[in-house]
Structure 1
Amino acid sequence: MSGFCDQAWQHTVKLQQAMLEHPFNEELADGSLSRERFQFYLAQDARYLVGFGRALAVAAARAPEPGDLSFFAGAAREAVVVERALHEGYFARFGLSEADLAAIETSPTCLGYTSYLLAVAQTEGYPELIAALLPCFWVYHHVGVDILGRQDGGGDEAGDGNPYRAWIDTYADDEFAQAVATCRTAVDRAAAAADDATRERMLAAFTRACEYEWMFWDSAYRLEAWPTKHLRPGAPGA
């Protein structure tokens, strides 16, 4: 019988395929994604990573195994320091100042996803929390490997000439694959020790986080704004 993670992936297989086929990732793969959409995505992702890092830190504090404590603590640092460096490299390339970034408002989806992870960290147990954190590792690697395969199969025009190749390489490399494997092992171990009710909550948390992953790509592609923005004090027509 397969482990929890394999079952959870199969449970969300339509979502996983939909992420590969989303216009954001299709255009990221061939290098045609507009700079405006990628900049918006990066601004949202940089903010998301802060909340993700905090949730990882909670997982580290609760981890029963020293190895898992080390992994989640290291992943928290990676999210806040290393991955943000990738964003900052693109910000510098695009000539975006701090004022430019501040002008990009945090989207409803970004706020919703980070708030969800932090809510799970505060109100659910360790098994549910790491199940909710797993998609950010696994989905990004899945998408990165898929896109890299398209790059390497498409010659120089689709590969080295892609302005987003640094992003692709970050999430498709072997080191990130190892992080995914380590997180999966921790989740499978927690599920194996849990009762049926806890495993159901873990599956629900994993699924909801996968839904947020799809929504994150989609919100960036749509340059999602708050639908109530025009009702704020001082807004035109308010």
Structure 2
Amino acid sequence: MSFSQELRKESEVIFQGIFEHPYVDGLGKGDVPKEALIHYVKADFEYLNAFINIYGLAIAKSSTREDMAYFYEKIGFVLNSEIHPHNNLCQVAGVDYDDLQGYALPPTADHYVSHMKSAAQQGSMGELLAALLPCPWTYLEIGHYLIDKYKPEPNHPFYDWITFYAREETASITTELREKLDHWAQNVGETEKEKARQAFIKSCQLEYGFWEMAYTQEEWPFKIS
């Protein structure tokens, strides 16, 4: 069993919790409260900006041009492709995407971003990869889970969102990051692998927390203008 397979097996209960979360299930049913859609997009826009920053840190940690080119290419995917599922949610909510950009992160999303940046800045390449991997991996499995469970047709309100994350390009990102993490794990000791494991599990926990944050429209306890 590869290192990434071990991580996926250990995090099974979290993945199942994500699949069963009312926000995710609501996407499959075609019924998510407008306010929850808006809260998600506001937070995810800034979260993906942080994801781009971390790809930049991965370039800085890379020792080959092949790896540098890979992470550079993935920045383009976030900038040019992941706007499509956001636009789907905005269309259903009846809001303009541009109006949901530039907001402060709610507590859980802020914690998630801080965790990823800490792993990227202070940890090894393995920790960086492990912190990033749950995002594409959980979304890939969510896409397939919702297709299998609800079999959405093109007239489904979240058809574009669901099919975007189930498509081959999303699968390839997960596969490539897993391969890079597995290759790294073959050449390090148990102490380094344990740090990467902790980074992966925490990101999985925070993926669940991100859905909960959006569904409950989590805010900071006190609003300071």
Uncovered stretches (5+) of structure 2, i.e. residues with no partner: none
The one-letter amino acid of 2:54's match is A
Instruction: Note the alpha carbon deviations across 1:47-85, whole angstroms, 9 max, x for none.
Output: 100001110121123223444332222112211332134
Structure 1 counterpart of 2:125, one-letter code: Y
Q: Distance in 2 between matches of 1:161 and 1:48?
A: 29
Tell me how far apart the structure 1 counterparts of residues 188 and 106 of structure 2 sit (CA, whole Å). Answer: 35
Which of 170, 177, 187 is the matching residue for 1:176? 170
Aligned to 2:21: 22
Match of 1:236 in 2: none
Aligned twin of 1:13: 12
Note the 1:114-129 alignment, pairs <5 A.
Answer: 114-129=113-128
CA distance in 2 between partners of 1:142 and 1:29 (Å): 13
Distance 1:95 1:161, change over 3 A: same
Q: 1:202 aligns with which of 189, 196, 203?
A: 196
Cα distance, 1:96 vs. partner? 2.6
Equivalences for residues 1-150 of structure 1 within 5 A? 2-88=1-87, 90-91=89-90, 94-96=94-96, 98=98, 100-101=99-100, 105-150=104-149
Give how far 1:104 is off.
5.7
- Tell me how far apart the structure 1 counterparts of residues 195 and 35 of structure 2 sit (CA, whole Å): 38
Describe the shift of the 1:38–1:92 C-alpha distance in structure 2 as closer, same or farther (beyond 3 A). Answer: closer
Give the structure 2 partner of residue 226 of structure 1.
220
Equivalents in 2 of 1:109, 1:54: separation in Å?
19
The one-letter amino acid paired with 2:123 is E
Question: 2:70 & 2:149 partners in 1: Cα distance?
Answer: 31
Contact 1:30 1:151 in 2 (8 A): yes
The answer on 1:164 being equivalent to 2:158 is yes
Are the equivalent residues in 1 in contact too, given 2:40–2:214 (CA < 8 A)? Answer: yes
Return 56-65 or 217-226, whichever deviates more. 56-65
- Structure 1: distance between partners of 2:6 and 2:107: 30
Contact 2:126 2:184 (C-alpha < 8 Å) held by counterparts: yes
Correspondence for 1:155: none
State the Cα deviation string for residues 138-192 of structure 1 (Å, max 9, x = none).
Answer: 111011111111232xxxxx43332111111111001111111111100000111
Q: Flag structure 1 segments of 5+ consecutive residues without an equivalent.
A: 153-157, 234-238
In the aligned structure 1, how far is the partner of 2:58 from the partner of 2:124? 9
The 1:103/1:188 distance shift into structure 2, 3 A limit, reads: closer
Q: Is the 8 A contact 1:135 1:209 kept in 2?
A: yes
Bigger shift: 213-222 or 31-40?
A: 31-40
CA distance in 2, matches of 1:197, 1:89: 43
TM-score by length of 2: 0.91
